[in-house]
Amino acid sequence: MRVTFRDASEGDLPALVAMLADDDLGAGREDTSAPLNPAYLDAFLAIDRSPDQLIIVADTEAGIVGSYQLSFLPGLAYQGAWRGQIESVRVARPYRGQGYGSQMIEHALPLCRARGCKILQLSAHLDRTDAHRFYERIGFIRTHASFKLAL
């Protein structure tokens, strides 16, 4: 299927939340009840307002097959390099293993370059070993360990 990449709109939120929840790790932490938990709309609006945050959806004639969030982060390190950071890469269950994830990462590269980013970074849960192999196959190098603290 031919994929069109576009910025997410408010109307995509139920589909995006369903993708976040339809995941071994995400199932317990999302709220898929209807009407949608307003916290998702608040988050969407914060992303939509920021010039440094994007949610991109991969859309097809059959509907949304995937999405990812892209952040542009300024920093002093690496001689003041901007970085792109990808979070929440998801492919809808019926469409996994068909190359859409790879297409999404490839879609992010020119967006990052256009913003002057020198590095694209992402983290994947230690349990997502398929994702690790996927990122290494498309050229990422596993350089860091990532830590989280619940607040």
Residues in region 19-58 near a second copy by CB under 8 A: 20, 26, 29-31, 37, 39-44, 46-47, 50, 52-53, 55
CA 13 – CA 40 distance, rounded (Å) = 7
Q: Is 150 in the site for a second copy (CB under 8 A)?
A: yes
Is the separation of the CB atoms in 6 and 56 below 8 Å? yes
CA 125 – CA 66 distance, rounded (Å) = 18
For residue 113, the surrounding DSSP H or E stretch is helix 100-114
Q: Is 141 in the site for a second copy (CB under 8 A)?
A: yes
Closest CA to 140 of 127, 121, 124, 125: 121
Least distance CB 2 / a second copy (angstroms): 25
Q: What are the residue ranges of helices labelled H in 8-99?
A: 13-21, 38-49, 77-80
User: Which residue lies nearer to a second copy by CB, 4 or 33?
Assistant: 33
Q: Is 80 in the site for a second copy (CB under 8 A)?
A: yes
Q: Determine which residue in the list 60, 71, 102, 103 makes contact with a second copy, applying CB under 8 A.
A: 71
Residues that bind a second copy (CB under 8 A): 13, 16-17, 20, 26, 29-31, 37, 39-44, 46-47, 50, 52-53, 55, 69, 71, 73-82, 84, 87-88, 109, 112-113, 117-126, 132, 135-136, 139-151
